[in-house]
A and B are shown apart, each in its own frame.
Chain A
Amino acid sequence: MTTQTLTLPRAPRSWKKLAQPVALILIGVYCLAPFYWMLVSSLRRTSDIFDTSLFPQTLSVESYAKVFSGSSDFARALVNSLIVATVTTTLALLLAIFAAYAISRLHFRFKNVILAVIIATSMFPGISVVVPLLRLFSDIGWINTYQAMIVPSLSFAIPLAVYNLTTFMKQLPFDLEEAAMIDGATKWQAFRKILLPLAAPGIFTTAILTFIHSWNEFIIALSMVNNPKFQTATVAISKFTGASEFQAPYGEQMAAGVIVTIPLVIVVLIFQRRIVEGLTSGATK
């Protein structure tokens, strides 16, 4: 971006030169130290879990082995999370692509009202949807099913997806579609053959954001399911208990935390630029 290159000539005095690496280290430590501590703790043996050395004396995957064996069926929980988050993301995207196309490309009345309503729906606290649906789902026998988690999750996934995609599609030039339509393409063809490929990066970014939000969802999954077979990973972790009430299995908890987080961290590292663009598109519209 131009503004970045323009900042360069501002040659700093010597203390300003020092300020840069200091800021780098400061932010790095702030953001990463707790995560590092989780990683290190998960790699300690149960016997020296309370060590406070910065690096474990003996590396051990004991905690990881425990997570996948024993009573807590964590592999199952991961699969459940994957199912719920994938289905939620897919459904939300399917609906949002068409809604975003309509909002960004078509002329019709009440457009701003509709967009405002869709955004406003994301303001309602999760609990206000969970309580009444809990009642409904117990009446129709949906407790302990995937759909009981997926349907309420749509309440935050759809507004998120619509908002992101609309912002993205509005940035795409209309010229190509217009040209195609002048050449005789129908609207549907222009949408499918021109807009959709152009919007692919935006759809992808939206998919990542929606997936991360659904993967991290807690209150719905906690309320709608009480059978461990259907628990998602975030809920399963919070319910890890040790042999006695006063001895929480911290090693296992940290290992499970790392397992749940690592895929997200990898995705974040690979697609950081896109994710930041997606997150900030609303703020600088």
Chain B
Amino acid sequence: MQQNHKNQEPNPSHFEESQGTSDQEVPTHRDLTWDEYRDTIQGMRFFDPHIHMTSRTTDDYQTMFDAGIVALIEPAFWLGQPRTGLSSFKDYYSSLVNWERFRSSQFGIRHYCTIGLNSREANNEPLAEQVMEILPLFLYKEGVVGVGEIGFDDQTAAEEKYYRAQLELAKQAKLPVQVHTPHRDKKHGTERSMAIALEHGFDPAWVIIDHNNEETVKSVLDQGFYAGFTIYPFTKMGNERMVKVVEQYGPERIMINSAADWGISDPLALPKTAALMKMRGISDETIRKVTYQNAIDAFGQSGQIHETDFANGLEIDQSQKMNGNTILRGGQQPRIAKESLFIN
């Protein structure tokens, strides 16, 4: 079989449908190498409010730590394929509050999560009903900082039904909401998500609308919501474009994330974008707000984030034995935390 590159789809990840090459934007994303930007972000701390670590490697954790990421939020999402039963959901949610949290801590990064039924799988109604029954047992857990990521994908009636039901759960649990906005018909889906949240009596400052772009951001900010931007090569925001958004709108209620997952994505999107902002003359305080503080303010309303837990670095003790098993394998030397942000 001959490979025809023209027919190869671009990265169909993070809920992404292939869009062919029709909307390939002019180069608005710039990749930076570590040597190009490490000095630029010296001393900066980052909080990535949307990253799917379950899909990432320990190497990612190490490089994230080296680049100054001190804490992150992992939203519950789908696996790239539909789950077939409740147990899969239970085990997945459980892994977010157990194993992944531990794995992250082993690299000096504080791991929080949001728990929710994602929009794609809301379409399997019999299963969705069962998931709704167990959600409260996870939403009230320590370190769960919101209900998410929830919202629309195909914008079906079932998606709306479970989006509304989960908004009610969030109200009862006094948790912020992390809203995934659809890739197709994004503008309409974003407006609809916001309108429904307001209809349910939400203070918009408790709702983080994610995956914004130049077309959606103004309305989101004008209505008082938080606006998340995902820096994701090829498909979502490019970091060059992100700089322009920050220049235009300022730092208030804007937060940047990587949404790195099992697709071609970049767990270092935050530090790289911070470096680019710095190179373009954006102030340190603005950079701090959009890559650290705003996310803490928004999700901290859950009462589950204590900045003191990570502000000065987690104590890394990879030699800490979890029942004789650490993530270290025989003969590996534990990596010990150092004063410096950079470990050589």
A-B complex is real: no
Task: Please give the residue numbers on chain B whose beta carbons come within 8 Å of chain A beta carbons, in ascending order.
Answer: none
Task: Please give the residue numbers on chain A whose beta carbons come within 8 Å of chain B beta carbons, in ascending order.
Answer: none
